[in-house]
Chain A
Amino acid sequence: GAVVSQHPSWVICKSGTSVKIECRSLDFQATTMFWYRQFPKQSLMLMATSNEGSKATYEQGVEKDKFLINHASLTLSTLTVTSAHPEDSSFYICSARDPMTGDNSPLHFGNGTRLTVT
C-alpha cells in the first residue's frame, strides 16, 4: 500500500530557532499533502494543504509566516516551523492520498514528528 515517510521522528530545539520537517510519498506521486498538528489528548487539526508547484492553503488561524510550507516536487513537502516557541511543541503529522486509487482512497499518514521547544 501507499507509504508516507516523515522525518525526523522527534526533535528538540531551543526557543527562537527554526525546525524543518520533511514528508515524502515513497511509492506514489502526491500533488497534494496535508499537514496536521495534534496536541495531547486532542484530535487532529489540519494546519495547511500543501500543493505541488503552488502556494499552500492555510487554515484559519494558522500563521503562514510562521509555518512555511514548500512542496517542490511530487514526492516531497516540507514544513518549517520558524522562530519556534514552547507553545509550538506538538505532534506534527503529514498525510497524502494516492490519486491513482480514486477520490475515495484514504489518507496515508507519516509517522509524525514530536517537536519539543525548550
Chain B
Amino acid sequence: SQTIHQWPATLVQPVGSPLSLECTVEGTSNPNLYWYRQAAGRGLQLLFYSVGIGQISSEVPQNLSASRPQDRQFILSSKKLLLSDSGFYLCAWSVTTGSDIQYFGAGTRLSVL
C-alpha cells in the first residue's frame, strides 16, 4: 500500500532563517506531488505541484521554492523565512493531476518568530 511521510511535524524558526521540509511517498511510481499551506486552520492554498522529476509548477509567487530531486521526494525550501510564512504545511500526492483522490501527509506546523 502507499504511504506518505512528511517531516518534521513541528518547527519553530527565527525570521530570516532557512527552511527545508521534506516529503516522501512509498508504494507508487511517478506520483503527482503537491505542497499546500493552511493558515488559521482553514483554506488549502496550493503552493507548488509536480508531475515528474525536476518539473515544478508554482501557483503563488513568494519566497518559497520547491524541488523534486527524486521520483518520490518533494522538498519545500526557503532561503529566508518571513513571519507570514507561519502556518500548517501539507504535502500530498495523487495518481493523476485532477480526477483523482489526493492523499495528504500529516503536515508540518511552522512557527516563524
Mutual binders A and B: no
Interface residues of A (CB under 8 A from B): none
Interface residues of B (CB under 8 A from A): none
